[in-house]
Structure 1
Amino acid sequence: MLHRLRQTGFFRNLQFARRNIRVLALWLLAAAALSSAFWMWAYSEIAREREAVVLDARQSASSQARAYADQLDRSLAQIDYIMLSMKHYWEETGGRIRLEKQLDAGLVSSNSDFVVTITDRAGKAVTSTRPFRKDFSGFSSRAYFREHQNGTVRGLSISEPVIGLRSKRPQIILSRRLETASGAFDGVIAVSVEPGYLLAFSDPTTIHGGDFIEVRKMDGTFFAEKSLANAASGSTQYRSAPQFPNDAGIASAPGQHFMDARPRVVAWQKAKNYPVVSVVGVSVEDRLAKYREREHEMRFVALLVSAVLFLLGVGATVFSTWRGQKLRDAKEVTAAYRLATENAQDAFYMMRPIHDENDEIIDFAIEDCNEQGAINFGARKEKLLNTRMSSHMSATFRDQLLSIGRIAMAQGFHEEEAFMPAHGKRPAQWRKRRLLRSGRGLAVMVRDVTAEKAHADKLHQLANSDALTSLPNRHWLTNYLLVAIEKARVTRKSLGVLFVDLDDFKNLNDTLGHAAGDELLKAAALRLKEVLRPQDSVARLGGDEFTMVLESIGSDRDIVTVAERIVDTLHEPFVVAGGHRHVVHASIGISVYPQDGEDSDTLLKNADIAMYAAKTSGKGNYRFFHENLSEQLVSKLTRQAQLKQALEQDELVVYYQPRVCGRTGELTSLEALARWRHPSCGVMQPDDFIPVAEETGLIIPLGEQVINKVCDQLVQWRAEGVPLVPVSVNVSARQINSGSVSAVIAAALERCGIAPDLIEVEITESATVGESVVASAELATLQTMGSRLYVDDFGTGYSSLSQLRRLDMHGIKVDRSFTAQLTDGPQDLALFRAIVSMAHAIDMQVVAEGVESAEQLALLQGLGCDEMQGYYISPPVPASDVLLMLQKRHLYPG
């Protein structure tokens, strides 16, 4: 056994290890040194990541503070605009303005959180959007009133939060001085808002953990705060008011400054035009939670690396005994390096400078290169070595390479990218050249970066282009408008901004699906590009909104010409979704530099306001911006607020219009029709508020109220002991697509104990032809519940009888326009007869809407129409008048 161990060299290796104990110690020391170095790196990395977390918190706080300051500035600007408008009107008319009339007309908001009051020079209230006593003079004691009275403040005054004289809740007062024609004090116009109003625009998704958002005055006066603990309340995280040394900044605040003792990064930003500050506090502790997990991970890795290094040190000791292997490995590495460089795509050169008698570099000799380097010069390697660089290239490139070679020799390193035009069979290229001084010569690497440059250009294009239409996007427009405005300012030319919105585009999405909508948007983008002049540009902002920039405008007529072309070209039908012809109109708002604004934000905002005016005045046209258009926007917002308040205060009532059997005149059903009992305008018809509800999404809670009111009314009639008939409720495509209609009806039926067949559902045609999976599921659920489904206003949309049969609809309600034409001639009569015949062929009932005369009734009876509805039978009536119909049953003799 001992002899065998000796043969294997075990003893020789053991003796060798003893003789090389110093080598062992050196490798272990090296391993320890590397381990220490790694620990140092790990701790530095931990510190760097901690700093990155803190830096991210600072950047987040700073960006949010700027964003909220911009929003705050716009909110205050809207209020200030209303005050300036009323101040101007007051002073122009000698004080004959009455806010009560403005409120009735819907020109100012009736929201109780937003109150406008005008007081005379004695502090007595003259007019207000909220009721007051005529002899009420408590305003004269207010600090803001005395400031305006004494002339201390001439512009806008923003008070600290005070207790409202009427609301008895904290209020912030924004006020301006009123003056007579001679400049004497004539009173004050004031707007009081809840403190939380100043934070209504904030995004709750940006608030995490101990973060908060506050609004304060520049002197530190507190207005409002929003955090996870406080939702826009009057309480603050600060123990004492902070100080703001300048308009904007960021600082680390220790926990002793705050009620919860949590340290934060605090950023503040003053609003651009008003002395208020947006303050954002970001909790550093919350953001360091994940960092601590990373710290534990780094410590574990450092321990693992230390163990590995120790094992490597021991293994390296064994490896060091084989010195001969090192030489062989070195030779192999050299050979591998030569093989790698010879087959690399990059070109490598070793160059030696050639000097003249003045020691100036006049050329370079090529001492070594790889195959790619020889290919770049168009020569074989053996013919290239030990030749002058200048002998292989033109004078232009020779001088260029000589210049950068001199720089690299002087500075030790040089790197650049250069464009190489096409030459012979070689295409144009971008090359990256790196020159490194090596001893007395240069090591040169040349790489083809054409693909990388093309990729960078592609990324730039993607960042500035709309993916759907390939038009420039909002990011591009923001940068381009700055340049265009500056150019117009320098050349003293006008510049036009056109805000283009496709009217009724949502109907296309609802009826034919989003794929058809995308197809139309791409076609519309092509048409818009065709109508532009060479110097003009068009961008897509998103959705169905486009913006055009017209440069070098001579007069408004130039803009009108382009606007009319847009209207005309978009009026031509689009063929989408495999053959559907769809017509869209364009509502265009126009603002002109410099009279409508001198910066991009103002021009875009005013063009948007003008577009809304064009849309509300009939669509398919254009409007230039005027100052009074802002008042119209305020009126729209007021109507939206009033409708929301009407839903909250239960101002909706339901009228009922009967449907009768065509043969017998017996009452078969009732249609529920919503009316708005407006406090000042009286009972309003659906056309006055349903479009607003559709546009703002309020149609969903409105429809829910109608359904619940109908079910409650059925319970009341049942209590009267009269036989009930089904009641149909109208449901729009938006309600169907919300996926909540079936649940609302089911809940109301269960609450009232009513049979499902007593509630019928009338839906628009657009809800039957869309591709929405949600809508299809809703219709199927309603049918499963036992409710009958009718298609309302049949003939005005895109549905077909075969499609309605597929959806298993119970019947159709033919639009009143067909009924009105029955007496016009035999063709109109034949058309109605065809509708009735086809509907009966697929077992669907036909209801004729808009029956207005005995002649129409007789013709419909002759056509075999199943049911009738219209003013000839009965107009919509209140619920109190329906009881007699339910008792009478027959509304005309059969």
Structure 2
Amino acid sequence: MIAAIRRIPPLALIVFISCSLLIGLVWSIEAARSTNRHALANAAAQRQAQALSRAYAEQLRRGIGELDQITLTLKYYWEHTRGSVSLEDQAEHGMYPKSDGLYVLIVDSKGDTVSGTLPARVAVSDREYFRVHQAGRASGLYISEPYIGRTTGKQVLAFSRALRKPDGSFDGVVMVAVEAPYLAAFYDRSSLGEQDFIAVHRADGEFLAAKVGGTLDGNNARLFPAPPRFDQASGLKALDASQFADGAARLVAWQRLSGYPLTATVGLAAADIQAGADDASDHARQTALGVTALLAVAGFCGIVASLRAAERARREARVKDTYRLATDSAREGFFMIRSIADEHGEIVDFVVQDCNERGAAFVGFGRDELLGMRFRELYRGAALSKVMGIFRLAMDTGFHEDEFMARRDRGGRPLWLQRKLVRSEDALAMTVRDISDAKAHAQALARLACEDALTTLHNRHWLMQTMPQSLEAARAGGRQLALLFFDLDDFKNVNNTLGHAAGDDLLRLTALRLRAALRPGDHAVRLGGDEFTVVLEQVDSVDDVARITERVIAALGEPFVLSDGSRHEVHASIGISMFPDDGNDADTLLKHADIAMYAVKAGGKGQYRFYQPALSASLVQRLALEQALRDAVDEDQFVLHYQPRVDAVTGELRSMEALVRWQHPLRGLVGPLEFIGVAESMGLIEALGCQVADKVCRQLRAWQADGLPLVPVSINVSARQFNHGDVPGMIARCMSRHGVPASLLEVELTESCMLATDRPVADELTALKALGIKLLVDDFGTGYSSLSQLQQLDLDVLKVDRAFTAQLRNGREGMAFFRAIVSMAHVLRMSVVAEGVENAEELAILQDLGCDEVQGYYVSRPLPAAAAARLLRAGSLFPALLQSA
């Protein structure tokens, strides 16, 4: 037997053994993969179940939170209005969804319905939730067990709160009822298998609702024979078939709701979990059978071929590889390096057996000089250790490839070489290629990718690439790092007035000054546009950061002289975030520095501010206000109130000032102090001004159609509207659209409009006068206007700020100052209106001082249009006021 085996050619044995081993390997791999598939399927199902339970719990929490909010709101209004709440009226106005699945009730202390959205009134004194609240066993929201509704005949759940009298005694219950499947309907997921389910339970295990296989079901008999109890807030458990009424094993995940005594449960059928893995394993086994058959045929053919080949010839026992490594004309350097070992077989050195002239030149020798030299003759110290380590590694692995800088040429240019080592028995074949040009090109591209083309500062790409290393170094060294974020205030004015070339010139000058203001080792980055950031790595305290920031602000605050000779003054508003206090990554630090910069701009530009967590909340409120204000302008949520101006002596109605109010859908009527400044900063003041002018003209037309005696109505126009909008054209279009004469319109402008030195504003004032519209100076005395400016502009009325009116009762100085204003205005043929008249004493003083008109709460508060119409009919607001004066 042994002799017969020996006569078999070695190649035939090798083929037979190899095929057998391959067949065994194929089936071993398949068995391992099958086990892995089932393990992966189970792990994926666990993650899916936990994710579904968390998602379902969050959706339940939000949905129940909305129901809870209804009970809280009704409880508040019922207790604070002493029962004057009508749910029927609210339902008619659409305050509750009209779906069949939700009902709202208010019952008194006896359990009788007081108000509700059900078609009939019911008594609930026997209901579980009523008895719980009546007995005082629930301090907040109580979720009932399912019960059958008397009106609907369906299984419902009650979400209820107790009502209290002022003395704290029980006064009834406010309740929101939903059909039981409503809780399962919160989560609409069509991918549930036929035996998968989602369910919700109370903390005591009471089943509330479920969805099995995508179908809503309020009957727990299809799921659990007994209510489940979960001791932990969340978890995952595989339950066998005995735990379920339908006899199907499942993987169950649960998540307790935050703030509510409910548990969301998700169950995935065990059969479905492994179905995909079973199918894949069946397919793989079929493939393995095919491969086995193929290997068997190949083995048989190989054995036959080896037997035939053995009969014809003998193979050579050893094949020598002949290497032709290089020629002297090649561009690459070629070497044959032989290893030298000691008596223990350890490599102690290498010797150059052969090379070409190009390779020898890389090392700095001639070919004849280099042949036969050992590495210990070529290298010394650390260089020798490094080279020996590389070549020993190549001998161990059979291959090595790297790039290294050999030296610098006479011009200081680095010589970069690419080295490739391949083992051949006890030697290494080495090729060396000069890659200096490619390396220089790659480094140039990398530099360009990280450099801003306009300013040559670092760019955003560089910042995001290097910040992780900088933060890690600061973290390892226990040091702080500061990030400064800023842009140039009013930079757009330069771009818009002088063009982008001038803007680019200003940005280049900014980069130069920024570099000069920073310390060596600080990094300046241009993020884009006029946005810059500075990375300060070596800082010991916030005082260091503050000093550097002040230096940057001072450097950028000096006027810039552009290439065209023009001088421009811009300032930087800088926000600062600190690592690690304000963030642990670049994105967070940038965001917080941006928020701090936003706070600087809101409070006055050209300053700096460190980030504080409260700024984030302030920014969110500001952004919410801005979005709401945009919606208000788009949806025209503004109304006008009218405050009369009357003759100071006769009380005759002379004019009315239109004052805008925001009819907020949630907050009600909002005064102008909360939104006018924001509207100006957002650029919405022009659109708002157009709406106000159109509303005034429409109202004047309506009063005229009602036959009322009309007086002029004044409109407030801001300096921004004069600077960015065609105010005369806008008012002319409104008058033409509604057929209102110019004599019925007046324009009130602030003193800042009078300070404008550019001709367009003066031209707009002239155009308004040309239309026949009177011009009024509002809040006179609070700005910096001068007598010469009043002389230059053809104005009609001077409205003196209420601050001066309030000083009239404080002595002669206040009266003398007001008398001077009246005298000056009369010389300029302007009438005087005193604002903020609050009492009879002030009115009497103003009459003695010769004031022409008065306006203030003593005369009348701002009134809606209907009340203002009554003033028009009356025509005069006193003698009643004159008699009291």
Instruction: Give the TM interval when normalised to the shorter protein.
Output: 0.3 to 0.5
Greater RCO (Cα-Cα under 8 Å, separation 6 or more): 1
- Report which of the two structures shows the higher radius of gyration computed on alpha carbons: 2
